[in-house]
Amino acid sequence: MGDSAMDSTLPPPESAVPEGTLFSMTDVFLFSVIVGLLSYWFLFRKKKEEIPEFSKIQPTTSSVRESSFVEKMKKTGRNIVVFYGSQTGTAEEFANRLSKDAHRYGMRGMSADPEEYDLSDLSRLSEIDNSLAVFCMATYGEGDPTDNAQDFYDWLQETDTDLTGLRFAVFGLGNKTYEHFNAMGKYVDKRLEQLGAQRIFELGMGDDDGNLEEDFITWREQFWPAVCEHFGVEATGEESSIRQYELVVHTDINMNKVYTGEVGRLKSYESQKPPFDAKNPFLAPVTLNRKLNQGGERHLMHLELDISGSKIRYESGDHVAVYPANDTSLVNQIGEILGVDLDIIMSLNNLDEESNKKHPFPCPTTYRTALTYYLDITNPPRTNVLYELAQYATDLNEQEHLRKMASSAAEGKTLYHSWVLEARRNILAILQDVSSLRPPIDHLCELLPRLQARYYSIASSSKVHPHSIHICAVVVEYETKTGRVNKGVATTWLKNKVPNENGHKVMVPMYVRKSQFRLPFKPSAPIIMIGPGTGIAPFVGFIQERAWLKQQGKDVGETVLYYGCRHENEDYLYREELAQFHKEGALTQLNVAFSRDQAQKVYVQHLLKKNKEGVWKLIHEGNAHIYVCGDARSMARDVQNTFYEIVAEFGSMTQPQAVDYVKKLMTKGRYSLDVWS
């Protein structure tokens, strides 16, 4: 019974299926599944194809358009592009001046940051009639390119692009006190010619140790006639002032959209996000600020910045960059003289809508913020600023006085050199001394250069202090020929960054710049360090690291220091620390020159000569690495000459052979410099 019941539920045998039925129920089910899967696959595949098609094409065309300066020049009717390699803003300023000059010759120019464009496009510049590429290239450190020109430099070294048809000119910015004077300008000039480009005017070489402004003006006044002759154009005679930015005053704006001193992203100081660099500095709390010297008129200081949680890494020998603020009293005095409300919120918007640079500094902001955090108000203004400002002097004699200093005439250059440079007149002093000069504050803000970060050699080792960076600096303060007291922007600002006992944090916007000033890879290699004054800074880090390596059981070579200061009882920096390192054996030799404690001045080079035989033995037999830090103008040069003498005497060489020997040490990385002028 059960069997017959089960049988009655079974489907009929295949032979019993009626002839009109083509598919079984199973077939229908399977067919439905297959159709469903195919439909799903088709729809899914279609979506997957459509989305990448859209997202791929859009950014690619956009990035090509944005990175092509040639396409931009075509679109905006430009035929001159002025690239700048700038570390402190001067090369950028010169590039802007040259690009603005172009209109006087019926041409249109644009200044450009090489970091923002694809420089391989130089091969296409000849597609534009009467086109010209100008390069204002600063040399940084020991013959290095500036940060923003590094990619351009790398490209020049690697490329074999044919630049036939490209016309160019180069103005280099350097300093003769440095070993590799104008190395970047020389290299760009030579390399472009090697690649087939045509130089239309000789390489200009500005010397910041002399008068960089005058060098630029002299080159520029010969450069433009050469351009006119090459392209067959004439000066239009237009010398009128051309505003690059227009003022917009904001009367009703959300304060959350107003910049208050940030150098990059709006509100970046309120919500800090790594990685931290020049465009996104870290706000480091100051944990210690102590005076180093025991007496004397100067103020030498040691600061410690807390970098905990920032993910910032540094090595001994690196530099820390800090963004300072101008003295509030100077800012207030400018506001009073010009009779303006410094708390007006405004923007300066570029009249050239195609320009990558929309504002001269972060906008919208207040005049007070701009003058405090964004603009350089303490350095003597350049001649182009005087020329632009002259139109606002209502007294004709004062107007003529300003115009004369801005001219290329010999008398004008001499007057500018004595009245502005030698007298160290900043913009406030000029407004005070030229009583009829009362320019609109927005035009003044447009003309003043940007306030730049200041660099200091780090005075600590990350092996010993991984969460803090130490600074050693001297406060700059001096009286000018006009009787005014000028103060260094950054050092005066740092001096006042004293940690508060009530727990209120004082902050310093900073980032780390990598350096080539490095300890030897092998700790067993001997080192000779020469660093008078605050030049001792990186060597404090070096000695800390060598002491740490010794504690780790490493074989550490001789660690020799030559340090100098004025008076033993006044400005002997890190005296106790150095004595302790010497006592523990981390510092093998401690040689100190006190220049003014006796009738005859004694400097570090004198101590090197005194120990010349031991110095030669360390260099020649011990393969010692030599490090020099401090003043480039006299100390570094005198020390180098001393090494020439030691090498010549004990190596039995002629003077040229000794020079070549020391130069080879530099090439091998065994003679390193960290100097400033």
Annotated active-site positions, please?
457, 629, 674, 676
Tell whether residue 490 is among the known ligand binding residues: yes
Tell whether residue 180 is among the known ligand binding residues: yes
Tell whether residue 182 is among the known ligand binding residues: yes
**Separation of alpha carbons 214 and 538, rounded Å:** 34
Tokens of 346: 């405004």
Half-sphere exposure of 398 (CA within 13 A, CB side): 16
Q: By C-alpha distance, which of 380, 428, 432, 442 is closest to 405?
A: 380
Tell whether residue 298 is among the known ligand binding residues: yes
Q: Are 618 and 643 in contact (CB under 8 A)?
A: no
Tell whether residue 268 is among the known ligand binding residues: no
Tell whether residue 488 is among the known ligand binding residues: yes
Which amino acid belongs to residue 247? L
- What radius of gyration, in Å, describes the C-alpha atoms of the chain? 33
Tell whether residue 457 is among the known ligand binding residues: yes
Strand 454-457 with 300-306, pairing: unpaired
3 state SS of 157: helix
Tokens of 615: 């110095």
Tell whether residue 424 is among the known ligand binding residues: yes
Which amino acid belongs to residue 589? Q
Tell whether residue 546 is among the known ligand binding residues: no
Tokens of 434: 């030229």
Tell whether residue 181 is among the known ligand binding residues: yes
Tell whether residue 676 is among the known ligand binding residues: yes
Tell whether residue 32 is among the known ligand binding residues: no
Tell whether residue 272 is among the known ligand binding residues: no
Half-sphere exposure of 578 (CA within 13 A, CB side): 19
Helix or strand run (H / E) with residue 216: helix 212-231
Where does residue 15 rank: exposed (0-12), middle (13-18), buried (19+ CB within 10 A)?
exposed
Residue with tokens 């009779």: 339
Q: By C-alpha distance, which of 264, 278, 249 is closest to 150?
A: 278
Tell whether residue 454 is among the known ligand binding residues: yes
Residue with tokens 């990035």: 63
- The DSSP-derived string for 391-413 is TTBSSHHHHHHHHHHTSSSHHHH
Tell whether residue 434 is among the known ligand binding residues: no
Residue with tokens 């295949």: 14
Tell whether residue 474 is among the known ligand binding residues: yes
Residue with tokens 């600002």: 493
Tell whether residue 173 is among the known ligand binding residues: yes
Tell whether residue 426 is among the known ligand binding residues: no
Tell whether residue 455 is among the known ligand binding residues: yes
Tell whether residue 601 is among the known ligand binding residues: yes
Where does residue 143 rank: exposed (0-12), middle (13-18), buried (19+ CB within 10 A)?
middle
Tokens of 326: 């101008």
Tell whether residue 138 is among the known ligand binding residues: yes
Tokens of 180: 């590799």
Helix or strand run (H / E) with residue 618: helix 612-620
| Bond before 364 cis per omega within 30 degrees | yes
Which amino acid belongs to residue 611? N
**Separation of alpha carbons 135 and 91, rounded Å:** 9
Tell whether residue 443 is among the known ligand binding residues: no
Tell whether residue 291 is among the known ligand binding residues: no
Q: How many CB atoms lie within 10 A of CB 225?
A: 12
Tell whether residue 141 is among the known ligand binding residues: yes
Beta bridge partners of 512: 320
Tell whether residue 61 is among the known ligand binding residues: no
Q: Are 630 and 535 in contact (CB under 8 A)?
A: yes
Tell whether residue 127 is among the known ligand binding residues: no
Tell whether residue 30 is among the known ligand binding residues: no
The angle at the Cα of 269, spanning 263 to 272, to the nearest 5 degrees, equals: 110
Tell whether residue 139 is among the known ligand binding residues: yes
Tell whether residue 208 is among the known ligand binding residues: yes
**Separation of alpha carbons 420 and 415, rounded Å:** 8
The two counts, helices (H) then strands (E), for the chain are 21, 23
Q: Which residues of 363-398 are buried (b: 16+ CB within 10 A; e: fewer)?
A: bbbbbbbbbbbbbbbbbbbbbbbbbbbbebbeeeeb
Tell whether residue 491 is among the known ligand binding residues: yes
Q: Are 84 and 152 in contact (CB under 8 A)?
A: no
Tell whether residue 295 is among the known ligand binding residues: no
Tell whether residue 482 is among the known ligand binding residues: no
Tell whether residue 595 is among the known ligand binding residues: yes
Tell whether residue 464 is among the known ligand binding residues: no
Q: Are 528 and 627 in contact (CB under 8 A)?
A: yes
Q: Are 532 and 675 in contact (CB under 8 A)?
A: no
Half-sphere exposure of 634 (CA within 13 A, CB side): 3
List the binding residues.
86-91, 138-141, 173-182, 208, 298, 424, 454-457, 472-474, 478, 488-491, 534, 595-596, 601-605, 638, 676
List the binding residues for FMN.
86-91, 138-141, 173-182, 208
List the binding residues for NADP(+).
298, 534, 595-596, 601-605, 638
List the binding residues for FAD.
424, 454-457, 472-474, 478, 488-491, 676
